[in-house]
Amino acid sequence: MEGKTTISQKFSAFSHKLFGTTPNDGDIQPKESWSYSICGLGQNFICTVIGSYLTVFMTDALGFNIDTNVGAMTGVTAVAILMLVTRLFDAFNDPIMGSIVDRTRTKWGKCRPYLLWMAIPIAIMTILCFLPWYPKDLGGFIALSLIYVVWSVVYTVADVPYWGLSTTMTNNTTKRGNLLTIARLFCTAGAGLVTILVPQITAAVTKQYHYTTADGKSLVNPIYAVENATTLKYTYFIIAIVLVILSLPMFYIGFKNTKERCGTIEDNQKLPSLGHNLKLLFKNKELMLIVLSGILGGARMVYTYTGGLYFCKYALGDEGAYSLLTMLVVPGGLIASVLCPWLTKKFTKKWSFIGSHIIGAIAMVVMFFMWDFDKGALRGTNGTAGLVVCVVCMLLIGIPQGISNIMTYAMIGDTVEYLEWKTGERAEGICFAMQTLINKIGMAIGAFIGVIAYRMSGISPSNPEGSMTVDGLNKLWLMLVLSGVVSFIACVIPMFFYTITEDKQRWLVEQINLRKAESATQAEVSDTENA
């Protein structure tokens, strides 16, 4: 019994140190932080299987590909447009959901309830997205498109309040930064597990339908193209079911073990309208700079989305290599994530963000020159030299990815206090809706560029070797790498104008608390005089 108590005490002390919390001080506690992070893990299981594999499911499994017409377009073009339009529609739903969150009043708070209410609807819609029985015609495409639109709306109803919850749990910027650091690590782990394991599974179950080309690529044998697609359909369907089953309890853990302390809505408080909240957004100029930066940075990691999977599957002839591609970003991202508190203290969030993204841009420029455009392949013997350099560059690119994953959330949290200082209103829901808007626009851009690059390459999944050309592979590389270079450079420009430092955030909180204290004192005096 003593041994168990000792281990528990050590873990408790470790957790308090990790999150920068103090036992029984009335503020956020480690159990809440762990539970919040676990919820993010489950959330990213679902988000990643949709974001990374629904397009491949549609083109390579269901058959909406270059060889198929959907209305007046090829299947691939239709899928690209669907992904872009739906995700943009979904992104601009976020401010609406944010406003709904700011108007929510329940015994559990205004953010937590959505983790309880939306877990099952998200699970159902995720499974429906991967049903293997959609016909390969216009009717099937429309049916799946409608399901995907509904999924995007349902997911938004939980995603916006999940990130807004971090601001209601504590208004201490250091504790909130620590919370988001660990939460984003869990989210990255959830996304990483899915992106690493799914290609390995799909490559293994379809291996029997592949053959090895003279240059060592493993490609689908045209004779077995139908069998390959059928196996993929049911494999993705089973994967979706498994991920949903794993994710559901994580949503409930996040709901049950967290507490809202800041920004609570009083019974007599007037609830803000959507129009009012939108006006507040544009008064929050610091938040608008973060949003602009996020939109401009939407294509930074396009090669880790669908386009990267297509590149590995066909240009490299190894679908499982996509797991390695995504894993290469992880070490730099994890190191950067762990160092975020130190970087924040040493350089501030703003300059850590800017500096890391300049490093990312340089790394991607170097990657660009590792491609031999005469051969349509990486440079060196069998592409070895180019591959080694690209591996190093991708490790470096993980640094800004890790920093961005954490610091933008923390910076948005700081802008909530800025808005409250400026207007007297916090509006966490609609402020954090901007982060989910940024994420979804990034996913929209990433999926669109990836699928369009696939379309431009002219590669047919039913006969890949016979459809691949040097020109097509060059186009695939150009789209995936150059878009990243431009995006890395563009996203740092707005951040030069961002002005909230850590000291300024603490000053803002002090001013807000002073204002509240003065208001309370005046109210007491008024009550005394009236009495």
Give the span between the Cα atoms of 36 and 163, in whole angstroms: 10
What lies within 8 Å, CB to CB, of 28 at 6+ separation is 19, 21, 169, 170, 172, 175, 179, 259, 261
Q: 515 — phi, psi (to 5°)? A: -65, -45
Residue partners of 516: CB distance under 8 A and separation at least 6: none
Identify whether 525 is part of a domain. Answer: no
**pTM of the full structure:** 0.78
**Residue 13 covered by a domain:** no
Give which of 340, 346, 338, 310 is closest to 325, Cα–Cα. 310
267 domain-assigned: no
Q: Does 227 reside within a domain?
A: yes
Q: What is the pLDDT of residue 1?
A: 46
Q: H helices then E strands: how many in the chain?
A: 18, 6
CA distance 415 to 148: 32
Q: How many domains does the chain have?
A: 1
Asked whether residue 12 is assigned to any structural domain, the reply reads no
Rounded to the nearest 10°, the torsion over CA 135, 137, 143, 147 is 80
Instruction: Write out pLDDT tens, residues 30-62.
Output: 999 999 999 999 999 999 999 889 988 998 899
- Is 258 inside any structural domain? yes
How far is the C-alpha of 515 from the C-alpha of 446, rounded, in Å? 44
The pLDDT value given to residue 449: 87
Residue 430 in any domain: the answer is yes
Domain that holds residue 500: 32-262+281-519
* pLDDT per 10-residue tile (average), the chain, 531 residues: 68 89 88 95 94 89 78 75 83 83 86 94 97 89 90 91 88 84 87 90 93 85 92 97 97 95 63 79 93 91 78 84 79 77 87 94 94 90 85 89 84 90 84 81 82 86 86 91 93 96 90 87 74 61
pLDDT given at position 150: 93
| CATH number, position 133 | 1.20.1250.20
Residue 311: predicted pLDDT? 87
Residue 274 lies in a domain: no
